[in-house]
Chains A and B, each alone.
Chain A
Amino acid sequence: MIFVSLLAYNILHVTFSPDKKLFSNATLMDVSRIGILAICILIVAIPEGLPLAISIAMAFSISAMKKDNVLIKNIQSVQVCALLHEICVGKTGTLTVGKMHVASFQFLKQGMIHVNNYLDAGEQAYFNRDMKIGRTADANRRLKNLIKEAIVANTDVRIEVDEGDERTLQASYLANGQALECAMVDFLMENQEDVYNSFIQRNKLQQKIIQLPFDQVLKRKTVIREDATNDKMCRIYVKGAPEVVIQSCTATFDENHEQVPLSRADQQQILNMIGQGIAAKGQKPLTYAFKLIDKQELCEILENVNEDSDEYRQIFESQLFYLGTFGLDDPVRENIDVPINEIKYGTSSPDADQKEAVVVKMITGDHLDTAKAVAVASGIIREDEIDGEDVAMTGEDFRAKIGSYEVYWNEQRGMECIKFENDRVFKKLNKKVRVIARATPEDKFIMIRGIQQDGGLIAMAGDSIADMMALKTADVGLCMGSGCDVAKDNSDLIIMDNNFVSIQKSIKWGRAMFDNVRKFIQFQLTVNSVLVFVCFLSGLTLGNLPFNVIQMLWLNLVMDILAAISIGTDPYKKDAGGRISRKFRVFIPEMWRAILAQFVYQALTLIILLYLED
Chain B
Amino acid sequence: MFYDGGYNLVTTNARDPRKVKVDTFIFHTFFMMTMFNQICCKITDDQGAWNILGALCNNPMFWFIWAFEMVLQHLFLYWSNYTKLGGKILGMSALSVSE
Contacts and interface: CB of A to CB of B under 8 A. Distances in A.
A566 B66 contact: yes
B42 A519 contact: yes
Q: Would you call the interface of chain B mostly helix, strand, loop, or mixed?
A: helix
Given A551-B27, A609-B22, A609-B26, A36 B37 contact: no
B94 to A, nearest CB: 16
Interface stretch (A134-142, A479-487, A521-529): A521-529
Contacts of A601: 33
A570 B42 contact: yes
B65 A565 contact: yes
Contacts of B37: 523, 526-527, 598, 602
Given A33-B9, A606-B29, A565 B61 contact: yes
B81 interface: no
A551 B29 contact: no
B8 to A, nearest CB: 9
Given A527-B37, A562-B69, A598-B40, A570 B62 contact: yes
Nearest to B18: A614
B83 interface: no
A577 to B, nearest CB: 12
B98 interface: no
A594 B34 CA distance: 13
Interface string B36-51: 0110111011110000
B3 interface: no
Interface stretch (A346-354, A384-392, A494-502, A553-561): A553-561
B26 A522 contact: no
A520 interface: yes
A153 interface: no
Interface residues of B, number: 41
B10 A549 contact: yes
A388 B9 CA distance: 78
Interface in A16-57: 25, 29, 32-33, 36
Given A550-B91, A554-B76, A606 B62 contact: no
B78 interface: no
A558 B34 contact: yes
5 contacts: A546-B22, A546-B23, A548-B90, A566-B59, A613-B25
Given A547-B27, A551-B27, A558-B31, A613 B22 contact: yes
B33 A518 contact: no
B27 A546 contact: yes
Given A36-B9, A550-B90, A567 B42 contact: yes
Interface string A241-254: 00000000000000
Nearest to B30: A606
B11 to A, nearest CB: 8
A595 to B, nearest CB: 9
Nearest to A588: B45
Interface in B53-78: 55, 58-59, 61-62, 64-66, 68-69, 73, 76
A588 B66 CA distance: 25
A609 B62 contact: no
Interface of A: 25, 29, 32-33, 36, 515, 518-520, 522-523, 526-527, 530-531, 534, 546-551, 554-555, 558-559, 562-563, 565-567, 569-571, 573, 588, 590-591, 594, 598, 601-602, 605-606, 609-610, 613-614
B7 to A, nearest CB: 6
B38 to A, nearest CB: 6
A609 B90 contact: no
Given A548-B90, A559-B34, A567-B38, 17 more contacts: A29-B6, A36-B9, A518-B45, A526-B37, A550-B89, A558-B69, A565-B61, A566-B64, A570-B62, A588-B45, A590-B44, A594-B40, A602-B30, A602-B33, A606-B26, A613-B22, A614-B19
B3 to A, nearest CB: 15
Nearest to B20: A548
A555 B31 contact: yes
Nearest to B16: A614
A469 to B, nearest CB: 38
B37 to A, nearest CB: 6
Residue of B22, B25, B41, B47 contacting most chain A CB atoms (<10 Å): B41
A512 to B, nearest CB: 10
A547 B90 CA distance: 10
A463 B9 CA distance: 65
A519 B33 contact: no
A548 B92 CA distance: 9
A610 B38 CA distance: 23
Contact of A594 (B7, B27, B29, B44): B44
A590 B61 contact: no
B33 A515 contact: no
